[in-house]
């Protein structure tokens, strides 16, 4: 750390001139940051990258960031509850997909391997763009980027500008009410950006048009309610209404930008909070007698805090560009559950504090563009739990089994990386890079009354290497061929090593400290060709080897494969480095411009994943995609689009993973498609009206591995105002 600080002081004191800006004639939509951590033309990156720009974000007008990703047609999203949304990239999900917000990694020590809703704690209403880097990206971003990177970039404060934006939105399918306001106040050398968003979502209505042969699937016939001091089972007056599933979301952002000479400073403060979020899938679980298993199961209010200070340094002899980000993050999560007709409620609370420092540098040397940097991370996890009797207002809180070690947990990671981009000639570009990562972990178990963990501590130290090499060939202005060989790694975190969790009825996940990093080795080929600047075709094929994979598998406690947990005899499983697997697939895209107003686009993705013994790998979505017809002329914009998924047959589900077969039909996850439309009309330069009609045919369907049915027909109405 002292060496780093000394180096930064040296560079600041010896800086000479601010680096040149990218040519303003280049469209911002053609510039990519995530692929290499510095500005780069998309066509010069060998990785598959999708950009969702701010105009598209505003027009899509989605209720949360997970839906924003899903409606791109290139990211599959799983949902366990209405307040959920777990992105999947190339068959990798949750802690195998890296989430980055404004250059700061959001993944923390308790990101789990099942399904995650954390992207919902990012306010899509203040985003400048989202960069989806598909495929292993560990050289630039370190651990967790096995499937790729989701980089959410919020808007920047602008100098010498004063403007404001506001909108209100209503959605019928869940009685959504959203309001947003942001304000930019900029002087010559200092600027401020403030933003606030508030959303209220009611219970979600499913579609009423069932697929033939699956009539009635997912209907909520009854629900459990605590009233009069006891649990009662009540008939659901509307079985299509998935209750309870509503929640609230609150997002705040404050940015300050300061220019001192040739140095740019940025302060970034973000706060995202939710109300309690009902875990709808668990509230539909039934026991062996066919009765509801839980009376309560919800995520308590979640909190995400981000504070970062970044500085862009002017050119020195050591680099042309430099960016340093220091960050602090805080995450609060909780789980509240109570079994049916059992009046002892269990509450588990987790708090995570994260410190981070990133320093990235770029130097141009003739044909070379060299990038290098370091990353330092520290996670501290606090976990505690208690039970109380809800029938007794004076009931004391009694210590209970914590989800993670009750004595506290800590992880640290330190890494360095080096990249080189070489323009061999005007038609051939070569990219290569390496990264070294060191990580350690320490977890302390104190109370063993509930689970007999052997020993008092779990400790680990791991090292990992990753690399990539890509080649791009541009035979003409209309054709691009690329190939990429890359590797990714994921270091085990607290959730992998030290979790005690009742994952499903009769199944208990227990700690296993004997884990090592898992690796992916990937090769892919891509081709893009434009025909007369009207038709564009693009295709990518990838093949990924997954080695030392961490999967859920049978385990033992004191020589036994079962354990009595919370009064239930459960099968014991644990995370283990048991698997070797392959994941391969393809993505194709089409874009046809009829004229400058009318455009047709389509994307289709297919992924296949199996363990070496032929067993299906979990998290592998069925074929999915989107086809869109888009029209824009002057003040009017309209899109007619279809979203679609193929079949996921029951025999293709993982037998031990997180595919949630209990929430599927008897045949698996049926294919589906929806027809949707949205329009936007600017009635003046300051006022815009938006109207969307989603799932026009009111189809009833459920995404693969999801525990809640998708929204039915949804009317969305939005009024936007610029000041």
Both tokens assigned to 219: 């209907």
DSSP codes, 104-173: EE---TT--SS---GGGGS-GGGEEEEEEEES--HHHH-TTTTSEEEEEEEPPP-TT-EEEEEEEEEETT
Average pLDDT over residues 587-593: 97
- pLDDT-based confidence at residue 34 (cuts at 50, 70, 90): low
Boundaries of domain holding 713: 2-722
**What was the pLDDT predicted at 255?**
99
Strand partners, 351: 332, 382
Among the residue ranges 256-265, 488-497, 571-580, 614-623, the one predicted with the least confidence is: 571-580
Q: What is the length of the chain? A: 723
Q: What is the mean pLDDT of the chain?
A: 92
φ, ψ of residue 350 in degrees (nearest 5): -130, 135
- pLDDT-based confidence at residue 136 (cuts at 50, 70, 90): very high
Three-state secondary structure call for residue 715? strand
* Euclidean distance between CA atoms 173 and 170, whole angstroms: 10
- Omega before 244 within 30 of 0, i.e. cis: yes
- pLDDT-based confidence at residue 418 (cuts at 50, 70, 90): very high
Alpha carbon of 244 to those of 174, 263, 273, 609, 699: distances in Å? 11, 51, 19, 34, 21
Task: Kindly tell me if the per-residue pLDDT of 199 is higher than 70.
Answer: yes
Among the residue ranges 120-124, 141-145, 254-258, 561-565, the one predicted with the least confidence is: 561-565
**What was the pLDDT predicted at 252?**
99
**What was the pLDDT predicted at 502?**
63
**What was the pLDDT predicted at 1?**
42
Average pLDDT over residues 600-604: 98
Q: pLDDT digit string (tens) for 682-703?
A: 999 999 999 999 999 999 999 9
Q: Which residue has the higher pLDDT, 565 or 354?
A: 354
Task: Kindly tell me if the per-residue pLDDT of 67 is higher than 70.
Answer: yes
Looking at residue 135, which CATH number applies to its domain? 2.40.170.20
Number of domains in the chain: 1
Residues 86/77, Cβ–Cβ less than 8 Å = yes
* Euclidean distance between CA atoms 623 and 607, whole angstroms: 7
- pLDDT-based confidence at residue 449 (cuts at 50, 70, 90): confident
**What was the pLDDT predicted at 7?**
39
**What was the pLDDT predicted at 40?**
83
- pLDDT-based confidence at residue 13 (cuts at 50, 70, 90): very low
**What was the pLDDT predicted at 236?**
95
Residues 6+ apart with CB under 8 A from 181: 164, 165, 166, 195, 196
Q: pLDDT digit string (tens) for 232-252?
A: 999 999 999 999 999 999 999
Average pLDDT over residues 641-661: 94
Cα dihedral value 612, 432, 619, 697, nearest 10: -130
Residues 371/419, Cβ–Cβ less than 8 Å = yes
| 416: number of Cβ within 10 Å | 14
**What was the pLDDT predicted at 24?**
37
Report strand pairing: 507-510 vs 568-593: parallel
Both tokens assigned to 257: 């930008």
- pLDDT-based confidence at residue 207 (cuts at 50, 70, 90): very high
Average pLDDT over residues 253-263: 96
Strand partners, 255: 193, 268
Q: Which residue has the higher pLDDT, 3 or 227?
A: 227
Predicted structure pTM score: 0.93
Q: Quickly tell me which residue has 């979020």 as its tokens.
A: 277
Nearest to 590 by CA among 549, 615, 625: 625
| 120: number of Cβ within 10 Å | 24
- pLDDT-based confidence at residue 22 (cuts at 50, 70, 90): very low
Average pLDDT over residues 107-129: 95
- pLDDT-based confidence at residue 505 (cuts at 50, 70, 90): low
Strand partners, 679: 638, 691
| DSSP percent split of the chain into helix, strand, coil, nearest 5 | 10, 60, 35
* Euclidean distance between CA atoms 676 and 135, whole angstroms: 29
Half-sphere exposure of 60 (CA within 13 A, CB side): 23
Residues 568/506, Cβ–Cβ less than 8 Å = yes
Task: Kindly tell me if the per-residue pLDDT of 29 is higher than 60.
Answer: no
Angle at 88 between CA 84 and CA 94, to 5 degrees: 65
**What was the pLDDT predicted at 501?**
66
Rg of the Cα atoms in the chain = 25
Q: Which residue has the higher pLDDT, 509 or 173?
A: 173
Average pLDDT over residues 335-363: 97
Enclosing H/E stretch for 54: helix 54-60
CA 134 to chain CA centroid, Å, is: 12
Q: Quickly tell me which residue has 């195998």 as its tokens.
A: 96
Residues 6+ apart with CB under 8 A from 50: 72, 74, 75, 131, 132, 134
């Amino acid at each position: 750390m002292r060496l780093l600080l000394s180096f930064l002081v040296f560079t600041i004191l010896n800086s000479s001139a601010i680096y040149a800006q990218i040519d303003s004639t280049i469209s911002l939509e053609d510039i990519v940051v995530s692929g290499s951590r510095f500005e780069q033309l998309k066509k010069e990156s060998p990785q598959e990258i999708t950009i969702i720009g701010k105009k598209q974000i505003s027009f899509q007008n989605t209720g949360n960031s997970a839906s924003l990703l899903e409606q791109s047609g290139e990211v599959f999203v799983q949902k366990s509850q209405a307040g959920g949304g777990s992105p999947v990239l190339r068959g990798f999900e949750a802690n195998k997909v890296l989430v980055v917000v404004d250059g700061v990694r959001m993944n923390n020590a308790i990101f789990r391997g099942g399904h995650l809703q954390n992207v919902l704690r990012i306010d899509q209403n203040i985003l400048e763009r989202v960069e989806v880097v598909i495929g292993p990206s560990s050289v630039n971003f370190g651990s967790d980027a096995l499937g790729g990177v989701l980089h959410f970039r919020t808007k920047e404060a602008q100098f010498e500008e004063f403007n404001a934006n506001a909108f209100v939105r209503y959605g019928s399918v869940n009685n959504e009410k959203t309001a947003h306001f942001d304000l930019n106040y900029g002087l010559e050398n200092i600027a401020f950006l403030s933003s606030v968003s508030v959303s209220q979502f009611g219970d979600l209505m499913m579609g009423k048009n069932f697929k033939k042969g699956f009539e009635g699937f997912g209907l909520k016939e009854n629900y459990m309610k605590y009233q009069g001091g006891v649990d009662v089972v009540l008939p659901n007056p509307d079985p299509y209404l998935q209750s309870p599933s509503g929640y609230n979301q609150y997002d705040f952002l404050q940015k300050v930008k300061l220019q001192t000479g040739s140095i740019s400073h940025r302060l970034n403060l973000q706060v995202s909070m939710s109300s309690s979020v009902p875990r709808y899938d668990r509230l539909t679980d039934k026991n062996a007698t066919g009765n509801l298993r839980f009376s309560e199961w919800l995520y308590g209010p979640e909190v995400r805090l981000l504070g970062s200070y970044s500085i862009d340094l002017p050119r020195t002899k050591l680099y042309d560009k430099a960016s340093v980000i220091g960050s602090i993050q805080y995450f609060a999560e909780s789980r509240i559950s109570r079994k049916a007709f059992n009046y002892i409620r269990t509450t588990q609370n987790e708090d995570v504090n994260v410190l981070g420092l990133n320093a990235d540098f770029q130097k141009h040397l003739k044909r070379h563009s060299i990038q290098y940097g370091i990353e330092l991370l520290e996670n501290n996890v606090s976990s505690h739990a208690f039970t109380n009797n809800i029938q007794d207002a004076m009931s004391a809180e009694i210590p209970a089994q914590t989800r993670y070690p009750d004595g506290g947990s800590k992880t640290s990671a330190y890494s360095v990386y080096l990249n080189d981009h070489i323009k061999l000639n005007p038609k051939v570009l070569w990219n290569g890079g390496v990264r070294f990562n060191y990580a350690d972990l320490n977890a302390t178990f104190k109370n063993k009354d509930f689970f007999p963990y052997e020993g008092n501590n779990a400790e680990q130290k791991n090292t990992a290497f990753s690399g990539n090499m890509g080649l791009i060939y541009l035979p003409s202005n209309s054709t691009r061929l690329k190939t990429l060989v890359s590797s990714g790694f994921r270091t085990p975190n607290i959730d992998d090593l030290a979790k005690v969790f009742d994952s499903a009825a009769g199944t208990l996940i227990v700690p296993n400290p004997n884990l090592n990093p898992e690796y992916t080795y990937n090769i892919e080929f891509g081709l893009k060709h434009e025909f007369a600047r009207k038709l564009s075709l693009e295709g990518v094929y990838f093949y990924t080897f997954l080695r030392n994979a961490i999967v859920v598998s049978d385990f033992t406690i004191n020589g036994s494969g079962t354990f009595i947990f919370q009064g239930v005899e459960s099968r014991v499983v644990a995370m283990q480095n048991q698997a070797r697997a392959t994941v391969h697939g393809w993505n194709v895209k089409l874009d046809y411009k009829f004229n400058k107003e009318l455009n047709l686009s389509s994307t289709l993705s297919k992924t296949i994943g199996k363990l070496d013994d032929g067993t299906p790998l979990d998290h592998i979505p069925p074929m999915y995609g989107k086809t869109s017809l888009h029209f824009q002329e002057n003040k009017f914009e309209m899109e007619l689009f279809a979203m679609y998924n193929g079949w996921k047959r029951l025999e293709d589900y993982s037998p031990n993973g997180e595919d949630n077969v209990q929430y599927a039909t008897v045949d698996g996850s049926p294919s589906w498609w929806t027809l949707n439309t949205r329009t936007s009309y600017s009635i003046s330069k300051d006022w815009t009206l938006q109207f969307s009609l989603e799932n026009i045919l009111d189809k009833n369907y459920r995404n693969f591995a999801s525990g809640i049915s998708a929204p039915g027909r949804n009317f969305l109405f939005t009024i936007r105002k610029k000041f």
